[in-house]
Amino acid sequence: MKGINKSKRLFRKAQGLIPGGVNSPVRAFKAVGGQPLFISHAKGSKIYDVDGNAYIDYVLSWGPMILGHAHPSVVKALKAAIEKGTSYGAPTELEVKLAEMVLKAYPSMDKVRMVNSGTEATMSAIRVARGFTKRDRIIKFEGCYHGHADGLLVKAGSGATTFGVPDSPGVPRSYARNTITLPFNDLKAVKAVVEKDWKNIACIILEPVVGNIGCVLPKRGFLEGLRKITKKYGIVLIFDEVMTGFRVSYGGAQAYYGVEPDMTCLGKVIGGGLPVGAYGGKAEIMSMVSPEGPVYQAGTLSGNPLAMTAGITTLKILSRKGTYERLEQKGLALEEGLKDAAKRAGVKTRFYRAGTMFCTYFTDREVYDYQTAKQADTERFARFFAGMLKRGVNIAPSQFEAGFISLAHTDKDIEKTVRAAYDVMKSL
């Protein structure tokens, strides 16, 4: 590395202008120590900091850059779109085209509404579910992050079932009280709560593969069990596929696991890296959304032409024959390489992967929910992170975030990553 002097200077300046010096908390490197890198540009599988250092990137803007950074086709399409104007605040043909592509990929959705972020998508989907069922309470799972809307920033207390306690100042207790938090993969806990309180429960929302405590896979029968319970009691089942959508498979986790939700939230990939989100579902549910129905939701930049253009171009490439087979090969090569590196270095790890999402936990125990994820050795991960960064490999600056693979990652990238991992793990 050439050093990170300019990054350090920029961070010091930013701290006097922006809370914590960053515009999203995890970027501050507090979980791993050190100071964040300031990025100047990115191309393909790599990002480059302001000091001229290059890194193989497995953060990929937290998921959306599945084609790699600055894909030529996306860049070309965006240049043409910019010349026509950046925002109209009016309908465009582009919105219709992207909606058609999304609905074709996700047959569980009859209609879809474009928004500007994953937070907007989940917040709006829950509002619609409440309007549709005329019930107030929701069930979410520990470790599943659904954005920073009030009522979703809650943590679980002791016991299997806990009514919401605000996890952030500024969230009213009266609002958070309608959020019930349960352990992920615990179908028994869900049944107990629903059987007792189903008349008040509007929806169950979850990441079908949890990407915000690393990468936690659903146990066999868990998603199927949720589908059965929600159908029985008229509860709306919402899959938050902001992270898993078009990543676990072209049709998301719902296609991969064969479980169809009532509503789906999307983001990230469908904007080709630009700010975007979407929520959709069954026609009878989506008919509640204004102006067709009484549930209000709006956004000046929703369906903006730049995000729609990047999304259409991205999905066209992803839908080509053989694309996901190539992604799976890359994912498998990285998985086998990192597992082998840990074994040869004598370091106990647990590696989990769903399509192009993955995580290495520094623990020798199975990880299947928030509590078991927390048993991972965060100090060891912090040293691993620092060692990988020093060797030119950028992974998420937290043990509890997923990593991502793109079409741009080459065999050489993966080989270099595995060699770096082995070298760092030996030093642990």
The CATH number of the domain holding residue 243 is 3.40.640.10
Decide which of 297, 318, 339 is a domain's last residue: 318
User: What is the CATH number for 354?
Assistant: 3.90.1150.10
Number of folded domains in the chain?
2
The pair of structure tokens assigned to 181 is 């938090």
Element (H, E) at 30: none
**Cis peptide upstream of residue 305 (ω within 30 degrees of 0):** no
Scanning 155-279, the segments in alpha helix (DSSP H) are 173-176, 187-197, 222-233, 252-257
Alpha-carbon span 249 to 356, nearest angstrom: 8
Residues 230 and 351 in one domain: no
- Catalytic positions, please? 145, 240, 268
Q: Which residue ranges in the chain fall short of pLDDT 70? A: 153-168
Residues counted in the chain:
428
Does 402 share its domain with 255? no
> Can you name the residues that pair with 265 across neighbouring β-strands?
240, 279
| Residues 185 and 58 both lie in one domain | no
Are residues 144 and 19 located together in one domain of the fold? no
User: Are both 46 and 82 inside the same structural domain?
Assistant: no
Q: How far is CA 193 from the centre of its chain?
A: 27
**Residue 271 and residue 418 in one domain:** no
Please tell me the pTM assigned to this model.
0.94
Are 128 and 236 in a shared domain? yes
Residue that finishes a domain, picked among 300, 318, 336: 318
Is the domain of 51 the same as that of 128? no
Q: Decide if 418 contacts 340 (C-beta within 8 A).
A: yes
User: Is the domain of 277 the same as that of 400?
Assistant: no
- List Cβ neighbours of 250 (8 Å cut-off, separation of 6 or more): 105, 318, 319, 323, 324
Give the pLDDT of residue 152.
Answer: 74
C-alpha to C-alpha distance for 395 and 417, rounded to whole angstroms: 10
Give the residue from 264, 298, 318 where a domain finishes: 318
Residue indicated by tokens 């480059």:
48
Query: Within this chain, do residues 314 and 335 fall inside the same structural domain, yes or no?
Result: no
**Structural domain containing residue 30:** 5-70+321-427
Q: Given the DSSP bridges, would you call strands 165-166 and 154-155 parallel, antiparallel or unpaired?
A: antiparallel
Q: Let me know: does 350 contact 361? Beta carbons within 8 Å.
A: yes
49/30 same-domain check:
yes
* Shared-domain flag, residues 125 and 137: yes
